[in-house]
Amino acid sequence: MARAVNGKMVKTKSVYDPAEESDGQRILVSRYWPRGLSRERLSLTEHLKEVAPSVELLHDWKAGNISWDEYKERYHQEMAQQYETISKLAKMASDKTITLLCFEREDNPHCHRHLLKNLIERSK
C-alpha cells in the first residue's frame, strides 16, 4: 500500500516480505529487532524505535485491554512527542520512496505502521 507524496511514496511492509528495489529506503519502525533477521537480510536504512508504540501501549493492545480506537488515540498522543522524527520521515519521502517495516502481516490493518504512514503523509 503506497501513496505518492510529491511524486514519491510512503509504503508499508512486513519485515518478512522480501526486499524489492522499489522499496527505496527501508526503515524498521518497531521497538524490537526481528528475531533471526539480519540488517543485511532486511536491507535496512534505519531502525527508528522512537516511532514505535510504547511498551505499555503495545502490552495493552496485545493483552486485549484496549480497543483499536483507544490504541489509535494513545499512539497519536505518543507520536505528538515525535514531531521531529515524523518530519524527518516526511522530508525523506519527499525526495525518495520510503518503506516502513514492522512485524505484523501487511494485510493486518491493526498495525501502527499504517497509522505512522498517515501521520507522515499529513505532515507534508
Domain layout of the chain by residue ranges: 2-49+83-122
Per-residue exposure over 83-106, b if at least 16 CB sit within 10 Å of its own CB, e if not:
eebbebbbebbeeebbbbbbbbeb
Answer whether 12's CB lies under 8 Å from 104's CB: no
Q: What is the pLDDT of residue 1?
A: 46
3-class SS of residue 74? helix
**Which among 60, 54, 55 is positioned nearest to 82, based on CA atoms?**
54
Counting as low any pLDDT under 50, the low residues of the chain are: 1-2, 4-6
Q: What is the pLDDT of residue 6?
A: 46
**Global pTM value:** 0.89
β-pair type (8-14, 2-5): antiparallel
Q: What is the pLDDT of residue 124?
A: 66
